[in-house]
Structure 1
Amino acid sequence: MKSVREIFRNKEYLLDEPEVVKLVDYCEELQDEIVEFKFQKTNNKELAMLDMLKEVIKGCNAIQKEQIEFERFGYEAPDYEATISNLKDYIYSRCKEEKIYL
C-alpha cells in the first residue's frame, strides 16, 4: 500500500484541495478500522505493534527518499522537526490505544 505522500509525490499541491483532504481523512479512518479489525480478530498486541512498526518504517523510508531528492536537485532540505514530532505522537497514541507500555 502506498502512502499519501507517495501517491501525490509529483503533485503535492493537490493535498490542499478540500476533496482530497476529505479522501485522505477517510482513508486514514479505514486504515484504523482495518488495524482494529485485525487486532480484534487475533486479540494479539504483537500484531498491533508489527503494524505500527511497518507504518513507521514506511514513513522513514519516504522521508529518506525525499531527502535524497532534495540533495540531488540542490534544493534546501525542509526542517523535519514537525515530521519527527508527528511520528512520536503517532507512536505514543497507538501505544495508548493498544495499551502497550514503552
Structure 2
Amino acid sequence: MAGMSPVFRRSERRKERKAPGERLVTLIRKPGCHLCDDAQEVIEKVCADLGVPWERKDITEDEELHRAYWEQIPVVLVDGAQHTFWRVDEARLRKALTQ
C-alpha cells in the first residue's frame, strides 16, 4: 500500500466493512440531560436492531471527556470517531453502522 494514492487507500478502507458485532457506539452523556435520554433511546433501538454493542460514558466522571465534550453533549461516537452531537438521527446512525 505504500505506493498507493490516499484516495485509493480511503476507498479500500470503505470496502472493509465491519460486522455489526465488531462496531461500537459510545454515548457520552451526563445525568439529568433530557437530550441525552432522547439520544440513548435512539441508540438502544438502532443497536438492538442491528446487533451492535454500545456503551455509555458519563462526563461528570471523566475529566478528559468533560473538557472535550461538555458543550456538545450528548455526543455519539461510532468506533471511537465522533458521529454526532446534541440530537441523534436514527436513519443517519443506522446508515453509519451498516456501511
TM-score range, shorter chain: under 0.3
- TM-score normalised to structure 2 length: 0.26
**Structure with greater proportional helix content:** 1
**Structure with greater proportional strand content:** 2
Higher relative contact order (CA 8 A, sep 6+): 2
- TM-score normalised to structure 1 length: 0.25
